[in-house]
Amino acid sequence: MLTHESPVLVTGGAGFIGSHFVLDWFSTVGTPLVNLDKLTYAGNLRNLLPVADLPGYHFVRGDIRDRELIDRLMNEFSPRAIVHLAAESHVDRSLVGPGEFLDTNIHGTFVLLEAARAYLDKLDSDDRAKFRFLHVSTDEVFGSLKPGDAPFEETFAFRPNSPYAASKAASDLLVRAWGKSYGFPAVVTNCSNNYGPLQFPEKLLPLILNRAIHGEPLPIYGDGLQVRDWLYVGDHAAALRVALEKGVPGQTYNIGGWNEQANLDTVQMLCALLDEFLPNSPHRPHAQLMKFVTDRPGHDRRYAINATKAERELGWRPKETFASGLRKTVRWYLDNQAWVQEVTSGAYREWMETNYGAR
């Protein structure tokens, strides 16, 4: 019988958003959780050291495309919910190697849905009614907005412009189809750009931070006026927890930070914080390191999330402003340079040298 003490199965729980969800879960809910993660370059068990020895935490290394493994975990742990975070997520990587994104994000989601559906078929009606599948997605499925356009709402059509966005849109549609075709109890969330501690340094903020600290050029795509809606990762983790508890099967909820910023302004704010925190740096002012580079293909001009539905129906609101969240983020990276050095070696360094120039 499924109860509140039955575990939650999280896929991708060693990644950026996933690790914050796991940490938030044990600091607020505290019931058992199983973390399934393949530990690709972006997965890091060091992120989860605070919970690694807790009796309710179980880590399993594995791939969501492995149906035999998923079936075994469902039978062994009898989860009351699945929180599906595992995905290839970096747009630049999807442009040079889209196949892995399609395989993991689309086929992997299909395997997980089918394993969960087979598991549900074995449950009685009461337990089936308790089960939830939370599918975590992105605002990039909606494409790009023009200045003055209304922010993305849950009812907007999908218009993905990158292989990554297309793969996530496809996975969202699979989840929707399983709900409509099989009565599968899925909830979908689409979030805006996440930032905060523990983010792998290929994404904009940690990439710029890492390079600025070392006095390296700060690549700014195109004119730098692309607008992003920034969401502090701790706020996102809390939103996912609430969506799992209160979200209605068949519904989609946009999770955004109400923080639209042009990339150029974001980098300038970050540089100003580094100037403040590192008064003796030989690279001050850090903004002098900015270098405009050729824009990437299909670069969306503007993202903006309307999170009104999540606020109204889930009772969630972000706590951090962009200014407060960015200050926390910069301070964390400066205080945790050992973590940065550990994750910026090997395959990451090779990728950076190929795509952004050698250090």
For residue 145, what are its two tokens?
Answer: 């907005």
CA separation for the pair 75, 69 (Å, rounded): 10
**Catalytic pick from 88, 139, 229, 260?**
139
CA separation for the pair 263, 228 (Å, rounded): 7
For residue 6, what are its two tokens?
Answer: 């039955």
Residues 116 and 187: beta-carbon distance below 8 Å: no
* φ/ψ of residue 9, rounded to 5: -95, 120
User: Running DSSP on this structure, what letter comes out for residue 260?
Assistant: E
Spatial neighbors of 193 by CB under 8 A, at least 6 apart, are 139, 204, 228, 229, 230, 231, 303
**Catalytic pick from 24, 37, 88, 140?**
140
Q: What is the Cβ-side half-sphere exposure of residue 340, based on CA atoms within 13 angstroms?
A: 21
Give me the amino acid identity at 169: A
Active-site residue flag, 164: yes
Active-site residue flag, 253: no
Q: Of 243, 272, 102, which Cα lies nearest the Cα of 185?
A: 243
**Exposed, middle or buried, 332 (CB in 10 Å: 0-12/13-18/19+)?**
middle
Active-site residue flag, 139: yes
Tokens 């983010």, residue located? 199
**Catalytic pick from 57, 63, 154, 164?**
164
Catalytic residues: 139-140, 164
